[in-house]
């Protein structure tokens, strides 16, 4: 029986999350991409708190989705540095590391986050 794309991604995410966890000093950077937008969050798993979050602006639709993802990464890194976070653990959320996910990670690194 064929499994759906969503189910395969969910299984990958479960495997990844079995050995990834975020702390207050080194939170987990989670990526989510929908058909139109890119989202990123820094999460402290010990407290269950979102430290910083960023997403595409609906008003600013200039550039490709990958270019907008890179902007989201830079924006998230700027918010994180303001709150005193310099390092994080990257959680690609079951997505393959290319395209928008890779662009977001590159933007976060350029913004000052280390992972």
Looking at residue 1, what is its pLDDT?
Answer: 64
Spatial contact of 80 and 50, defined as CB atoms under 8 Å apart: no
Query: What is the pTM for the complete model shown?
Result: 0.89
Instruction: Report pLDDT digits (tens) over 82-99.
Output: 999 999 999 999 999 999
Closest to 27 measured CA to CA, from 5, 51, 3: 51
Could you give the domains of the chain?
Answer: 5-111 (3.30.420.100)
The count of C-alpha atoms lying within 13 angstroms of the C-alpha of 106, restricted to the half-sphere facing its C-beta, is 13
Helices (H), the chain: 5-17, 65-82, 100-111
Question: Could you tell me how far CA 56 lies from the centroid of its own chain?
Answer: 12
């Amino acid at each position: 029986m064929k499994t759906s794309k969503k189910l395969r991604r969910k299984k990958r995410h479960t495997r990844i999350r079995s050995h990834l966890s975020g702390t207050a000093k080194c939170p987990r950077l989670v990526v989510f991409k929908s058909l139109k937008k890119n989202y990123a969050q820094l999460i402290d798993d010990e407290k269950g708190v979102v430290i910083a979050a960023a997403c595409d602006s609906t008003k600013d639709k200039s550039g490709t989705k990958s270019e907008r993802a890179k902007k989201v990464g830079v924006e998230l890194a700027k918010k994180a540095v303001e709150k005193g976070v310099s390092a994080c653990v990257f959680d690609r959320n079951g997505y393959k590391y290319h395209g928008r996910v890779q662009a977001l990670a590159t933007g976060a690194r350029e913004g000052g986050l280390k992972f």
